[in-house]
Amino acid sequence: MTALPPGCRSHVVDVAGTRIHCVEAGDGPLVVLVHGFPESWYSWRHQLPALADAGFRAVAIDVRGYGRSSKPLAVEDYRMVRIVADNVGLVGALGAETAVIVGHDWGAPIAWTSALLRPDVFTAVAGLSVPYSPPGPYRPLAMMRALGGEEEFYIEYFQEPGRAEAEIEEDVRRWLAGFMFSASGDAPPPDLTKGTIATIAPGAKMQDRFSYPTDALAWLTDDDIDVYASEFEHTGFRGALNRYRNVDRDWEDLAAWRGRSIEVPALFIGGDRDGPTVWGAAAIAAFETTLPKLHDSVILEGCGHWTQQERPDAVNAALVEFLGSLG
């Protein structure tokens, strides 16, 4: 069992037959923290005590497919509407009627969509690293094929069950270390003549373009990598990757919300060295329309993709200020 941050407790909640593992701290208004890929509740280890100290009940979950949460076998059981249903059921199972939802990486679209579909339950939302963009008119995988050009965009690479799993599970710990470092603000700038980790050359593997740290990282220690590796060595990656395998299905499910703004108070935090922040510049520029109750859009200088781990103090300060503004 992973050592918990001070003042935290771990438990499993039954959400309509789905097991959701939670690590929580504090008392007060409920704040649900949703991780991304390839992470777990542990990515919020710095936020749980800070939010508890600020007077909130912070609950970091393992999304279905991860950690100690349920891992259904069917790919379609990882569609967005089912994960949103998990979040709605979780709030009730925790004895609350409403919550603020905060998400990072894949957790950001999960959080944005939870607030879009159920603003009565999720009365405020914060997204880290992936800006909100309303459901659009174009099928996602078709756009990703166009983005990849002669290579394969990484989400397309993840589509075939077993393919990415085989690469990652050759050496789980090394793959995680390379992936997380390569997407961080500490990684060397990519040599664009050789491509980036966002695309995979024909016949190659994603890890062929990873870089690795030469010195210890303050934000990601060997012990931290061990925590993530230990989780995935037990669970495998099928459930985690199945989220990517639903992007077109999500597009179909969310057709009724195409172009819709989110009408609850919102916060965005990104890093200026993070791919989704750079690619998402147009989405960020549209926040006045898509997030009409935006409280702030914070871009952290020198920060890569792992915002709440790379810049915990800045993220904690922004979250606490946002939560305090909600009254």
Indicate which CATH number applies to the domain containing 269: 3.40.50.1820
Look at residue 89 in the predicted model and tell me its pLDDT: 98
Span 267-286, average pLDDT: 94
Question: Considering the entire predicted model, what is its pTM?
Answer: 0.97
Among all chains, which residue has been given the structure tokens 């914060």?
126
Q: What is the 3-state secondary structure (H, E, C) of the chain?
A: CCCCCCCCEEEEEEECCEEEEEEEECCCCEEEEECCCCCCHHHHCCHHHHHHHCCCEEEEECCCCCCCCCCCCCHHHHCHHHHHHHHHHHHHHCCCCCEEEEEECCHHHHHHHHHHHCCCCEEEEEEECCCCCCCCCCCHHHHHHHHHCCCEEHHHHCCCCCHHHHHHCCCHHHHHHHHHHHCCCCCCCCCHHHCCCCEECCCCCHHHHCCCCCCCCCCCCHHHHHHHHHHHHHHCCHHHHHCHHHHHHHHHHCHHHCCCCCCCCEEEEEECCCHHHHHCHHHHHCHHHHCCCEEEEEEECCCCCCHHHHCHHHHHHHHHHHHHHCC
Look at residue 13 in the predicted model and tell me its pLDDT: 98
Q: Which domain holds residue 290?
A: 9-325
221: in domain: yes
2: in domain: no
What sign does the CA torsion over 12, 175, 152, 275 have? Answer: positive
| The pLDDT of residue 88 is above 60 | yes
127 φ/ψ angles, rounded to the nearest 5 degrees: -120, 135
pLDDT digits (tens, 9 = 90+) for 174-209: 999 999 999 999 999 877 667 789 999 999 999 999
128 DSSP β-pair partners: 104, 269
Span 23-29, average pLDDT: 98
pLDDT digits (tens, 9 = 90+) for 146-179: 988 899 999 999 999 999 999 999 999 999 999 9
> Quick one: pLDDT band at residue 279, thresholds 50, 70, 90?
confident
212-216, 283-287, 311-315: segment of lowest average pLDDT: 212-216
Name the CA dihedral angle for 292, 294, 300, 304, rounded to a multiple of 10 degrees.
Answer: -60
The residues that are catalytic are 105, 305
pLDDT digits (tens, 9 = 90+) for 61-71: 999 999 999 99
pLDDT digits (tens, 9 = 90+) for 217-248: 999 999 999 999 999 999 999 999 999 999 99
> Quick one: pLDDT band at residue 38, thresholds 50, 70, 90?
very high
Q: Is 13:94 a contact under the CB 8 Å cutoff?
A: yes
Name the CA dihedral angle for 121, 132, 153, 235, rounded to a multiple of 10 degrees.
Answer: -30
48 φ/ψ angles, rounded to the nearest 5 degrees: -55, -55
162: in domain: yes
Percent of the chain with pLDDT over 90: 92
> Quick one: pLDDT band at residue 278, thresholds 50, 70, 90?
confident
Which two tokens mark 99?
A: 């919550």
4: in domain: no
3: in domain: no
Residue at 9: amino acid letter:
R
Look at residue 193 in the predicted model and tell me its pLDDT: 65
pLDDT digits (tens, 9 = 90+) for 289-316: 999 999 999 999 999 999 999 999 999 9
183: in domain: yes
Q: Is 59:41 a contact under the CB 8 Å cutoff?
A: no
273: in domain: yes
Q: What average pLDDT does the structure give for the chain?
A: 96
Look at residue 196 in the predicted model and tell me its pLDDT: 86
Residue 288 burial (CB count, 10 A): 9
| The pLDDT of residue 1 is above 70 | no
Return d(Cα 214, Cα 110) in angstroms, integer. Answer: 34
pLDDT digits (tens, 9 = 90+) for 310-325: 999 999 999 999 999 9
How many domains does the chain contain in total? 1
1: in domain: no
Residue length of the chain: 327
Residue 3 CA: distances (Å) to CA of 24, 42, 58, 59, 227: 13, 10, 17, 16, 9
